[in-house]
Amino acid sequence: MSLVVGLTGGIGSGKSAAADEFARLGATVVDTDAISHELTAAGGAAVAEIMRQFGSAFVDATGAMNRKRMRDLVFADAEEKQRLEALLHPLIRAESARRIAASTAPYVVHVVPLLIESQDYRERVGRVLVVDCPEELQVARVRARSALPEGEIRRIIASQVQRQKRLAAADDVIDNSGTIAAMQQEVRRLHETYLELAAA
């Protein structure tokens, strides 16, 4: 079993950019959000069950889950959110475990937005890496890449674990409040650390 590093951070913190750099350096990246998108895309393994449980209105014309409609539903209704999670999470966990087991890289970066909140994922990783930046920067980044209104972005941030709690759980932190180049330099530094830990 190779070293598994759990990478997490709030929305807009730069998790994907950091994960991309780890992948470029040779780590296997297993991203739960990417797996979730695959499961709910046209032809995805979860789509038939989403249609059965939530109705055809939650599947769009392409055969993928209607993300906007589902997001509106689960943000408005905690029980519906739990129902969706009960459907998706076991599939995501199983596929994550399969990809980690199949890795031949020196170490795996397991990207899990809800890592701190999830005991199951915490137990799967050897180290916790948090990508961090101030909330105002999170909001600005999400607004720049999506059509979400500021109020909705702040609601998402509020629904995630508090920044201080995330940082308190971290073994390693990437400060991503600066440039992409600065963040990539942090990743390269940690890559060397993880290679040493994996070899030990």
Backbone dihedral region for residue 6 (phi beyond 0: left; psi -120 to 50: alpha; all else: beta): beta
What domains sit in the chain, N to C, each tagged with a CATH number?
Answer: 3-27+105-199 (3.40.50.300)
Q: What distances in angstroms separate CA 121 from CA 62, 92, 114, 126, one per listed residue? A: 32, 11, 8, 10
Encode pLDDT of 183-198 as tens digits. Answer: 999 999 999 999 999 9
Encode pLDDT of 32-72 as tens digits. Answer: 999 999 999 999 999 999 999 999 999 999 999 999 899 88
The confidence band for 1, taking pLDDT boundaries of 50, 70 and 90, is low
- Say how far apart CA 134 and CA 66 lie, in whole Å: 31
Question: Residue 49 has what pLDDT?
Answer: 93
The overall pTM is greater than 0.85: yes
